[in-house]
Structure 1
């Protein structure tokens, strides 16, 4: 039986970049300078970032203009290899703080301030998978998003 929730050691900064690089290379992909720049920019955001936000951050860091469509391609690769998660309702991305662990996501998205919290609860996500399978559907990558107000915004 799966655990109800699980904890991760969440590397930060260079340790997170090394973990992401290792996962990407294990997937048979190269960790290029551009991919490293996009990952660093994504990991530097406090809230989910759009491809345009990331392109601007990378452009500023490199001193040359980077097109958002180039960033989208890299983000698609990152989502496919578990280095990033897409917050579908806001069309934005967050770096996966534990890229070596593959699991389904639950995002709590604050409609007031935009803060997004990622939860791991296998009981809930396994229930969603089980319900989909019972309906004859084969789930590939469930993402659950709960919109509302975070504790900071409720208190203000």
Structure 2
């Protein structure tokens, strides 16, 4: 079982924000100041962040209340444009370090510290898609979460 090694660039910091903006604009969407602020806040987190965490931090930064519903709408836009990844079991989000990339999501989620490691494994993804196809089910984007304890916590 081979884990997919990315041959494209893993972005971080300003490079990540620039790549996200370019990807969103290329898809026909606008990169507004609020979307920029939400993405920057999301990108600074090492662990999955909830819309409430992001809204609270942005409220403090902006000096006025930012509604979690507004943040949810922006995060949904980011997920649909592959700028962010959603950890379903914790309803939290991670910035996609390679915006626009459409690999299936496989997360290793630590029950102790909350860390979610995103891995790509084309063998597993193709098998999951194959099982769905054999059941006459059309997949959009499989998300697999494996709960357990990370190396740091074990």
Report the TM-score, using the length of structure 2 for normalisation: 0.95
- Within 5 Å, which residues of 2 pair with 1:30-69? 30-69=30-69
In the alignment, what sits opposite 1:77?
A: 77
Q: How far is 1:4 from its partner?
A: 4.8
Aligned residues: CA RMSD = 1.1
> Who is 1:147 aligned against?
147
Give the corresponding residue for 1:111.
111
1:2-13 alignment runs, 5 A limit: 4-7=3-6, 8-13=8-13
Shift of 1:152: 0.9
What is the DSSP-based 3-state SS (H/G/I as helix, E as strand, rest coil) of the residue aligned with 2:35? helix
Distance 1:60 1:45 in 2: 16
Count of aligned pairs = 152
Supply the distance in 1 between the matched residues of 2:65 and 2:3 (Cα, whole angstroms). Answer: 45
Aligned to 2:23: 23
Unaligned runs of 5+ in 1: none
Q: Secondary structure of the equivalent of 2:153? A: helix
**Structure 1 stretches of 4+ moved >4 Å:** none
Q: How much has 1:35 moved relative to structure 2?
A: 0.1
8 Å CA contact retained: 2:81, 2:100? no
Q: CA deviation at 1:13?
A: 1.1
TM-score normalised by structure 1 residue count: 0.94
Report the Cα offset of residue 107 of structure 1. 0.3
Stretch deviating more after TM superposition (125-134 or 56-65): 56-65
Q: Could you give the per-residue CA deviations for residues 35-73 of structure 1, whole angstroms, max 9, x where no partner exists?
A: 000000000111101100010111122221100000000
Secondary structure at the counterpart of residue 5 of structure 2: coil
**What's the CA shift for 1:9?**
2.2
Secondary structure, aligned partner of 2:31: coil
**Residue 49 of structure 2: SS of its match in structure 1?**
coil
